């Protein structure tokens, strides 16, 4: 453990030295500055979170589905203030599945554990099996994925290394792949956690009383094997705790947290932490519709022999912070000036990255090249997106769009099953400012294009071969309780509201995300491009 702590501390120091100066978010910072915090501690789509402790450091990961890089790694010293320090999965395999958007597939409900000076992450891919990666450097490179158990339908795995060195794995099942759910199974793995050496046994069946039992996390405490898991479904479910003297059960169970009289619906799956200061806490998610599944923190009381979460089994909206040595207020990265020669850690693609989509430049911007659009952006792999960070925020970007020919466009997008985009498109010697909106994109819906203004280029090439025209413009999206409004400026000072308000909608198992793309109608060989100088997230 000491070796892992030293490596982790060194890695985090490197991340801090190369990253942009981190200030508390202007749109959502849960630390109230008076020893208390306000839930959610992460108002962003970190679905199915799990957490582990390495000394005084805490590491969190979450589902990433088809988004790349996958398996985000967040770090905290107090379970309230978090920042992104890396990703454990740079690409998804096989390429024939994930080089194009495979919405809702990929990484489901990971667990993160520290064992023998090494961090392990297990996750279920419902179409391929249960996978694992490991590292001694949480902010650095992780191992190549190992398929621990091959097969379909297995989701939400979590390992447990017992005191005698044996390793067990619990997992749930996806009805969409195998035709049944609500059951949990346990099997034995090799001591190194790399392969199954035992057959699965059903240890719990939620039946009618605890239907949709899923998301189990495996622990040892006070001589018992414990499984903490949700049941009842994402929107209106509850938390279960179950215990047994054997990893294979039978398990007795209790409901230990539910909505009750609060307005916090369906407190769903997460992870338990026992801190070095002797306190117990539980991080779980709450479904917020278009904003995705955001992360809450609850105290846990074990004095009765069972975990009682939150306020006597109901989630707190506000509570005192955990005791810790940290006084640093920090939040996940949002804004980016693209000066670092690499993308900020908040950005993800909707499919495996291809360098033809875009690259950082030496000029303090990130360049996205136009790619032929099919029916809609739902099928576009070259979407550079980040999670929405708060219920109300404004994202403003300074960009230059360069077009080689008609039918090339680029801009700022709010992406989900429905999406809207504030785009500029070349038409002849001019640019059109457009709102491009698609409803039911996941069902093959077509884009509607509304022309908002005509704009003169700010620069024109004079070379004889394939000259481009260029437009410098500021694009803005303002979000307020799920409604997105658009504005633009030509000078960065005076903004003009344009277009129609847009109601945000979730993606497949993920919240709506915002960011950039550049597209074309596919008729042109020479690509245009979108240079993003900076994006700022604020009120």
How many residues comprise the chain? Answer: 539
CA 220 to chain CA mean position, Å? 28
Q: Is 143 helix (H, G, I), strand (E, B) or coil?
A: coil
491 counts as catalytic: no
Sheet holding 82-89, edge to edge: 50-54, 57-61, 70-76, 82-89
Residue (of 226, 31, 218) closest to 113 by Cα position: 218
Spot the catalytic one: 50, 57, 188, 214: 214
Cα–Cα distance measured from residue 217 to residue 523, given in angstroms and rounded to the nearest whole number: 51
214 counts as catalytic: yes
Residue pair 449/411 in contact (Cβ under 8 Å)? The answer is no
Cα–Cα distance measured from residue 107 to residue 48, given in angstroms and rounded to the nearest whole number: 11
Q: In 22-152, which ranges are E strands?
A: 36-38, 50-54, 57-61, 70-76, 82-89, 108-115, 118-125, 129-135, 146-150
Spot the catalytic one: 31, 45, 48, 336: 48
Name residues whose C-beta falls within 8 Å of residue 111's C-beta, 6 or more positions apart in sequence.
50, 121, 122, 123, 157, 158, 159, 217, 218, 271
Cα–Cα distance measured from residue 383 to residue 368, given in angstroms and rounded to the nearest whole number: 9
Residue pair 329/323 in contact (Cβ under 8 Å)? The answer is no
Which residues are annotated as catalytic? 48, 214
């Amino acid at each position: 453990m000491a070796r892992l702590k030293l490596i982790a501390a060194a890695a985090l120091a490197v991340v801090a030295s190369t990253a942009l100066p981190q200030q508390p978010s202007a749109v959502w910072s849960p630390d109230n500055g008076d020893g208390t915090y306000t839930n959610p501690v992460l108002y962003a789509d970190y679905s199915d979170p799990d957490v582990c402790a390495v000394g005084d450091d805490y590491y969190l990961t979450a589902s990433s589905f088809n988004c790349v890089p996958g398996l985000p790694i967040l770090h905290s010293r107090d379970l309230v203030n978090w920042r992104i320090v890396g990703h454990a999965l740079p690409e998804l395999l096989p390429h024939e599945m994930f080089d194009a958007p495979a919405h809702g597939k990929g990484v489901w409900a990971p667990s993160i554990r520290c064992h023998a000076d090494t961090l392990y992450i297990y996750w279920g891919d419902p179409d391929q099996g249960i996978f694992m990666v490991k590292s001694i450097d949480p902010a650095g490179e992780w191992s190549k994925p190992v398929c621990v158990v091959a097969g379909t339908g297995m989701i939400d795995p979590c390992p447990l290394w017992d005191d005698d060195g044996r390793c067990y794995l619990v997992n749930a099942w996806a009805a969409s792949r195998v035709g049944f759910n609500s059951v949990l199974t346990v099997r034995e793995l090799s001591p190194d956690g790399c392969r199954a050496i035992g057959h699965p046994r059903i240890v719990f069946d939620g039946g009618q009383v605890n239907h949709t039992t899923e998301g189990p996390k495996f622990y040892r405490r006070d001589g018992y094997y414990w499984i903490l898991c949700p049941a009842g479904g994402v929107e209106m479910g509850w938390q279960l705790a179950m215990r047994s003297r054997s990893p294979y059960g039978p398990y007795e169970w209790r409901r230990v947290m539910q909505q009750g009289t609060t307005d916090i619906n369906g407190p769903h799956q997460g992870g338990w932490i026992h801190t070095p200061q002797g306190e117990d806490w539980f991080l779980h998610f709450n479904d917020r519709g278009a904003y995705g599944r955001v992360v809450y923190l609850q105290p846990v009381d074990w004095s009765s022999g069972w975990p009682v979460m939150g306020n006597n089994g109901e989630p707190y909206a506000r509570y005192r912070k955990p005791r810790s040595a940290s006084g640093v207020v920090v939040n996940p990265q949002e804004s980016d000036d693209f000066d670092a020669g690499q993308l900020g850690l908040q950005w993800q693609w909707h499919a495996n990255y291809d360098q033809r989509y875009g690259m950082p430049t030496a000029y303090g911007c990130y360049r996205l090249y136009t790619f032929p659009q099919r029916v809609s952006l739902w099928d576009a792999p070259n979407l550079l997106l980040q999670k929405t960070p708060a219920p109300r925020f404004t994202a403003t970007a300074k960009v230059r769009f360069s077009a080689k020919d008609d039918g090339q466009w680029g801009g700022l997008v709010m992406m989900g099953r429905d999406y809207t985009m504030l785009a500029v498109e070349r038409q002849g010697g001019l640019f059109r400012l457009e709102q491009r909106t698609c409803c039911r994109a996941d069902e093959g819906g077509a884009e509607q294009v509304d022309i908002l203004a005509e704009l003169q280029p700010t620069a024109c090439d004079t070379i004889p071969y394939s000259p481009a025209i260029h437009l410098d413009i500021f694009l803005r999206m303002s979000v307020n309780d799920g409604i997105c409004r658009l504005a633009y400026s030509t000078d960065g000072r005076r903004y003009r509201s344009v277009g129609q308000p847009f109601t945000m909608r979730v993606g497949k198992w993920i919240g709506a995300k915002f960011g950039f793309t550049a597209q074309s109608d596919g008729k042109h060989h020479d690509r245009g491009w979108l240079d993003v100088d900076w994006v700022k997230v604020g009120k």
